[in-house]
Chain A
Amino acid sequence: MIGFIFVLVIGVLFVLSYYPRRRSVSDTQRFERRLHQKIDSIDSLLPQTQCGKCDYSGCRPYAEAIARGNADINQCPPGGELTIRAIANLLGRDPVPFPADKKIDSQSFTALIDESLCIGCVKCIPACPVDAIIGSRQMMHTIIKQNCTGCELCIEPCPVDCISMVPVWTRSKEWVWSKPGSILEN
């Protein structure tokens, strides 16, 4: 009797061993997946200006560098203090102060084309990472203010230097209360 049960069990196990095994996720794949999730979360905290001031070619490459440990979290001027804190919070680290030699953008800026100087050369249009410039050959170019992130990439290609950065006007919709006890005005 015992012998029979023993053979039965061995037999069942034998049969089961032929079923295709669930593909085991290798450690590398798990690592890659988690890394991509990390990059996505860091990227969602970045301001998406795509300006390159962080020394990377865009926001996502910078997010990847942070995730891989190749870059520090205090390299984004448009993001400012809030972004440093948010990323520090996400990664469970202490916030790092902004380097003394770099300048945080204290205000939002938008690009403005001086129409009296623009020659319609279309050199600025491909430079804009978010397609905020409308124009065509020998037609007037203009910046779509709602789409401009203030990255300043259009300034350099312009041969007649007709693009300048102007502060975005704060209307009462965008105005914020300042913190009590702060010395500086908002």
Chain B
Amino acid sequence: MAMELHKFHGGLKLETHKTITDDIVATQHPLPARIILPLRQHIGIPSEPIIKVGDHVLKGQTIARANGYVSIPLHASTSGKVIDIGDYPVPHPAELSATCIVIEPDGEDKWCDISPTHEYASVDPKKLQDVIRDCGITGLGGAGFPAHVKLNEGVRNVVDTLIINGVECEPFITCDDRLIQEKADYVVAGTQMIRHAVQAKHCVIAVEDDMPEAYEALAKLVSDDIELIKVPARYPAGSEKQLIQVITGKEVPSGGLAIQIGIVMHNVATAASVYRAVTRGEPLISRYVTITGKVEAPRNLQVLLGTPVIDCLKACGYEPNDNHCIILGGPMMGMNVTNPEIPITKTTNCILVEKKKNVTIEMPCIRCGACVDVCPIKLLPQQLYWHARSDNLEEAQRYHIFDCIECGCCSYVCPSNIPLVQYYRYAKSQIAAEERRRDGADHARARFMAHEARHDQDQQADSDDLPLLADPESDVQAKKDYIDEAVKRTRQKRGKQQTKPEDKSGK
């Protein structure tokens, strides 16, 4: 099944460090002391809790429902008691907190009632999407886009090719590799189910050429209607746009989606979860996570969602200390973690422990152009840097800053150690914030104009009003006394506090 492959511009050939963990069988991680489940583990609107504190929940029970179309439900990873619904630290670059449901496991790990979907091939594709959505399945490749949204496309647009992405291109990460080696049957069966849901004409499963065991495992099981291919290992070949270009030679339009060129892509782990959801009715409550780097026993773990990161690290023989930094994700796109109590979520693929490096000093740009040579999207990183740095946000948009996938190839090669991706993230969030400010200002302006218009109308109407008759029942003096008391109370309070800041009386 030789398929002619293409190349994408730029990219890097990196040291993969995959041999640390790729030949060790994944171990099931035991029940942690607490399960912390953020209401938002996906791109979209956070889900809404449907249980309360104190409730007892079973494993797999729906504990939060989807809130809108781009949202998915949340399920309990194990049976136990809901001990809190509140703000807890979650994976976030600034360590912000978010609303989480916290469960204390009761040790029984008892499942709720779940039911399979029989004869999926004869089931309406729309029904299959609902099953996948109800099981809380989101893209497990890292971005976390709700899977059912990328399945719906098959109903409205024609899907030419479904690509199942097993191209694990980031160094150190081997969770997909191990998943394929251990559960190739889930992956292949899940692929068939997704194919049915999107009604794709062609179907491809892709792995990297440095994953020979995974390739063999799949080759034994794929039927003739699925094309299994190996792509050359090059970072970031596993990124959606790059993989599409390698396999089909087509480019996703700037600012556009893969579906616009008739392609839908899902990760291998997503396919395996779909298999579980359809054949058993099992919701997404666990995933493979690679624990690697400077830990005693690096390996892949099958972890229940909501398990604190520190638990997984301890299981691999690591205690946090000042010499090491903990990274959630890989060395190129991962996020630094200072609070290891944060939970493993649907999009966590790796925990990497590295030695702390000396702070690199950012030096001036020497206009060498190395960044331009490696950008897989064929952007001009140097121009984006100049514009982001000088807050020239409109120009940055003209140079397609929103097409940047933040892969980090440019920062990696910069001889001046300029943290280029940080500049682009800054510019992107400023542009988004500016839009929010504009919307807020427009909203305020509309309300102000309505206020003024009503004010004018009222002034007009006042002259026509009948004089207000005093209510003979009311005791005016009592009212006056009440107000005087209240004012006296506050004056006393004010006297004890500092004087309030000066403010203008505008009008």
Nearest neighbor of B431 in chain A, beta-carbon distance: A176
Given A119-B486, A176-B430, the answer on whether A46 and B441 have CB atoms closer than 8 Å is yes
A85 contacts the other chain (CB 8 A): yes
B426 contacts the other chain (CB 8 A): yes
Interface string of A25-60 (1 = CB under 8 A from B): 000000000000000000110111111110101110
Contact of A180 with B507 in the complex, beta carbons under 8 Å? no
Total interface residues in chain B, CB < 8 Å:
45
Nearest neighbor of A56 in chain B, beta-carbon distance: B506
Nearest Cβ in chain A — how far from B284, in angstroms?
22
Interface string of B89-124 (1 = CB under 8 A from A): 000111010100000000000000000000000000
- Give A47 to B445 CA distance when docked, in angstroms: 9
Interface residues of A in 132-185 (CB under 8 A from B): 132, 147, 149, 151-153, 155-156, 159-162, 170-172, 174-181
- Give A109 to B419 CA distance when docked, in angstroms: 32
Nearest Cβ in chain A — how far from B430, in angstroms?
6
A96 contacts the other chain (CB 8 A): no
Which residues does chain B contribute within 8 Å of A71, judged by CB atoms? none
- Give A158 to B504 CA distance when docked, in angstroms: 14
Nearest neighbor of A157 in chain B, beta-carbon distance: B505
Nearest Cβ in chain B — how far from A101, in angstroms?
12
Q: Could you say which of A48, A152, A155, A156 contacts B445, with CB atoms under 8 Å apart?
A: A48
- Give A170 to B234 CA distance when docked, in angstroms: 39
Contact of B451 with A119 in the complex, beta carbons under 8 Å? no
Which residues does chain A contribute within 8 Å of B423, judged by CB atoms? 179-180
- Give A71 to B444 CA distance when docked, in angstroms: 23
A7 contacts the other chain (CB 8 A): no
Which residues does chain B contribute within 8 Å of A49, judged by CB atoms? 444
Which residues does chain B contribute within 8 Å of A132, judged by CB atoms? 447
Spot the interface stretch: B176-184, B210-218, B246-254, B432-440. Answer: B432-440
Nearest Cβ in chain B — how far from A21, in angstroms?
38
B25 contacts the other chain (CB 8 A): no
Contact of A130 with B422 in the complex, beta carbons under 8 Å? no
Contact of B506 with A153 in the complex, beta carbons under 8 Å? yes
- Give A82 to B435 CA distance when docked, in angstroms: 13
A-B contact count (CB 8 A): 118
Contact of B443 with A147 in the complex, beta carbons under 8 Å? yes
Contact of A85 with B506 in the complex, beta carbons under 8 Å? no
A117 contacts the other chain (CB 8 A): yes
Contact of A130 with B448 in the complex, beta carbons under 8 Å? yes
Contact of B506 with A52 in the complex, beta carbons under 8 Å? yes
- Give A49 to B442 CA distance when docked, in angstroms: 10
Contact of B96 with A171 in the complex, beta carbons under 8 Å? yes
Contact of B447 with A147 in the complex, beta carbons under 8 Å? yes
- B interface secondary structure, majority: helix
B482 contacts the other chain (CB 8 A): yes
Spot the interface stretch: B69-77, B157-165, B309-317, B487-495. Answer: B487-495
- Give A47 to B442 CA distance when docked, in angstroms: 8
B500 contacts the other chain (CB 8 A): yes
Contact of A127 with B94 in the complex, beta carbons under 8 Å? no
Which residues does chain A contribute within 8 Å of B362, judged by CB atoms? 180-181
A72 contacts the other chain (CB 8 A): no
Which residues does chain B contribute within 8 Å of A85, judged by CB atoms? 391
Nearest Cβ in chain B — how far from A66, in angstroms?
16
Nearest Cβ in chain A — how far from B460, in angstroms?
16
Contact of B433 with A52 in the complex, beta carbons under 8 Å? no
| Among B98, B440, B450, residue most surrounded by chain A Cβ atoms (within 10 Å) | B440
Which residues does chain B contribute within 8 Å of A104, judged by CB atoms? none
Given A58-B506, A131-B447, A156-B505, the answer on whether A178 and B441 have CB atoms closer than 8 Å is no
Given A50-B444, A129-B451, the answer on whether A161 and B419 have CB atoms closer than 8 Å is no
- Give A175 to B506 CA distance when docked, in angstroms: 31
Contact of A48 with B96 in the complex, beta carbons under 8 Å? no
Contact of A52 with B507 in the complex, beta carbons under 8 Å? yes
16 cross-chain CB contacts under 8 A: A47-B441, A52-B505, A53-B504, A59-B448, A129-B506, A149-B444, A153-B503, A156-B503, A159-B490, A160-B490, A161-B500, A172-B92, A176-B426, A177-B429, A180-B423, A181-B362
B-contacting residues of A (Cβ < 8 Å)?
A: 43-44, 46-53, 55, 57-59, 82, 85, 117, 119, 121, 127-132, 147, 149, 151-153, 155-156, 159-162, 170-172, 174-181
6 A-B pairs with the lowest CB-CB distances in the bound complex, closest first: A52-B506, A48-B444, A130-B447, A176-B429, A48-B441, A180-B422
